[in-house]
Amino acid sequence: MIQMEPKQPGERYTFQELYHIIELLRSPEGCPWDREQTHESLIKPMLEEAYEAVDAIEKKSPEKLCEELGDVLLQVIFHTILAKEEGSFAFEDVTDRCARKMLFRHSHVFGGDAAATAGEALSNWESRKLEEKGFSSLRQDLEDIPNVLPALMRAQKAAKKIRKAGSDREELPPFVSEQELGAALYQICRQADRSGLDAEIALKHYLEGVIQNEN
């Protein structure tokens, strides 16, 4: 049994103490369940915790958001401890990469680029991101969109990249409201259901063809 005195009310645990607690849970004297976990077994919990944090934001509940962000942080720490045990990377490598990314992609703050608006800042970010990743084609950029995203989210990300690259020249009438767009999407889902087709899978497969056709 691991001896650890709980803190008194009003006292707070630090990040380092939380990290150490999870290390102890992974130790031979720790928790059998925690010792059995892998990156793969923690995929579902990571997704669930992220969704619960989003739910807390949408419900405008600061107390719940504080709790859910803690659960998200737990997942981050857990994965970094697993990686350290494997000899892949440590938490310091994660923070180092993140800091370097923020500095590099915010060239309008830490470099010589200019951005007077949020749109210009985002444009700088996207340009620096492509430079950072070393992509030489639109197809590479599209293939970088995670396959695990829901098909609709992935399709809209792809459509945005294709439009910004100037490859989508087809004129389309805009939707006048979110309600109109939602109705159109629901209508497609109704048609898919009556046709015995899965709209998510159909869009996923069609999108693969779109990506393959880009240079």
pLDDT in tens, the chain (215 residues): 677 888 998 999 999 999 999 999 999 999 999 999 999 999 999 999 999 999 999 999 999 999 999 999 999 999 999 999 999 999 999 999 999 999 999 999 999 999 999 999 998 998 898 888 888 888 898 999 999 999 999 999 999 989 888 887 788 899 999 999 999 999 999 999 999 999 999 999 999 999 988 87
Selection from 57, 54, 64, 73 nearest residue 13 by Cα? 73
CA-nearest of 135, 155, 138, 137 to 146 is 155
pLDDT of residue 155: 95
Of 162, 148, 149, the closest CA to residue 209 belongs to: 162
What is the structure's pLDDT at 165? 83
Q: Where in the chain is the domain with CATH 1.10.287.1080?
A: 15-90
Residues 6+ apart with CB under 8 A from 212: 139
Total residues found in the chain within this entry:
215
Domain 15-90 CATH class label: mainly alpha
Whether the Cβ atoms of residue 59 and residue 53 lie closer than 8 Å to each other: no
Which residues are within 8 A (CB) of 207 and not within 5 positions of it... i.e. 6 or more apart?
Answer: 151, 154, 155, 158
pLDDT of residue 189: 96
Please tell me the predicted confidence (pLDDT) of residue 137. 85
Give the Cβ contact number of residue 65 at 10 Å.
18
Whole-model pTM: value is 0.81
69 contacts 88 by C-beta, under 8 angstroms: no
